[in-house]
Amino acid sequence: MSVLTGVLGRRAGRHGPALALGILPIAFLLVLFVYPVLRLLLFSVENGSLAHFEKALTDGLYVQVLLATFEIAIVVAVICLLLGYPVAYLLATASPFWAGFGFALLLLPFWTSVLVRTYAWMIILGRNGIFNRTLLELGIVDQPLALLHNTTGVLIGMVHVLLPYMVFPIYSIMKRVDMQLLSAAEGLGASSAQAFRRIYLPLTLPGVFAGMTLVFIISLGFFITPALLGGGRVMMIGVQVERLVRQYLDWSLAAAVAVILLAVALGVAAFFRRVLKGDLTWT
């Protein structure tokens, strides 16, 4: 320890203990997280060639998968915003009892296994599923709707998983908004709608950006939901990477795709931090 603190700290005597506490977990993360991820990423430039990147970025199949993944991630983020913003607003303005109740309804699905939820959606959305049965019996449709093994099913499943990630950051920003500003605006002659649009919405925009960023980034790496609800027909990067490694044993191409995925995720996170001046921890 003395060697390390001597090297790293100018005032090692005071700050040595804090660093020493961290040494074990930092070493753990270096060996079991940083090292394997860097090792994987280096596979992509095996033999110093960029051929795998070229393939990933020009081969029609991979370009299609990349674009489809970005498209799904954007659509999921927008739907989550449309569903999540009003929910966050309701929770932020409800009495403590109802806010607690609403949070329970948000946290229970949040912590329930993605697998359990995906399985349930298969029961609900299938051709003979609960949803189609109900629609047929009510005579709303003549033919069962195709909701499973296509993009619709994947979108429903992903929105269900990611909605809380939208609500949490928007909610915590909303809790900081001084509601007297709205009263003041209305007192000065603004309608409720104007006060909302000109004051409340701009003030809560940082939460919206945080939620959108979070949902978009997490969407990019989705695997379980597209694998099961997409039925092999909806190709997302995560599914493709798994296939490359397990079926084709093509580590270099998988690594190149992983690098692209990571670069986009980190790029979006950096844009959010620098340009939008946001904070991705949700406190």
Partner 1 sequence: MDVIRRRPMGAGRRPSPARWALIVYCTLVFVFLMLPLIVVFPISFSSAQSLQFPPPGYSLRWYKVYVNDPVWMAATWRSLHIALWTTVLSTVLGTLLAFSIVRGRYPGKGLVNQVATAPLIVPTIIYSIAVYGLFAGLKVIGNWQGIVLGHTVHALPFVVLIVGAALRTFDMAQEQAAEGLGASRLTAIRRVTLPQIRPALISAAFLAFISSFDELVIAMFLGGANVTLPKKMFDNIQLEIEPTVAAVSVLQIVLVTVVLMLAARFGSGARPVA
Residues 6+ apart with CB under 8 A from 73: 215, 216, 219, 220
The span from the CA of 225 to the CA of 69, in Å, is: 13
We find the least distance from the C-beta atom of residue 35 to partner 1, in angstroms, to be 7
- When the beta carbons of 51 and 120 are compared against partner 1, the nearer one is 120
Radius of gyration (C-alpha) of the chain in whole angstroms: 24
The residue type at 187: G
The span from the CA of 270 to the CA of 264, in Å, is: 10
We find the least distance from the C-beta atom of residue 132 to partner 1, in angstroms, to be 10
58 binds partner 1 (CB under 8 A): no
Q: State which of residues 76, 102, 170, 204 lies at the interface with partner 1 (CB under 8 A).
A: 102
Within 112-171, the residues that bind partner 1 by CB under 8 A are 112-124, 126, 129-130, 133, 160, 163, 168
- When the beta carbons of 47 and 281 are compared against partner 1, the nearer one is 281
The span from the CA of 256 to the CA of 237, in Å, is: 11
Cβ-contact 165, 211 below 8 angstroms: yes
Burial class (CB in 10 A: 0-12, 13-18, 19+), 180: exposed
Within 178-197, the residues that bind partner 1 by CB under 8 A are 179-180, 182-184, 187-188, 192
Joined tokens for residue 83: 């569903």
Q: Which stretch binds partner 1 (CB under 8 A): 15-23, 47-55, 70-78, 201-209?
A: 15-23
We find the least distance from the C-beta atom of residue 51 to partner 1, in angstroms, to be 20
Cβ-contact 226, 238 below 8 angstroms: yes
We find the least distance from the C-beta atom of residue 125 to partner 1, in angstroms, to be 10
Within 70-89, the residues that bind partner 1 by CB under 8 A are 83, 86-87, 89
Within 205-264, the residues that bind partner 1 by CB under 8 A are 217-218, 220-224, 228, 238, 241-242, 245, 251, 254, 258, 261-262
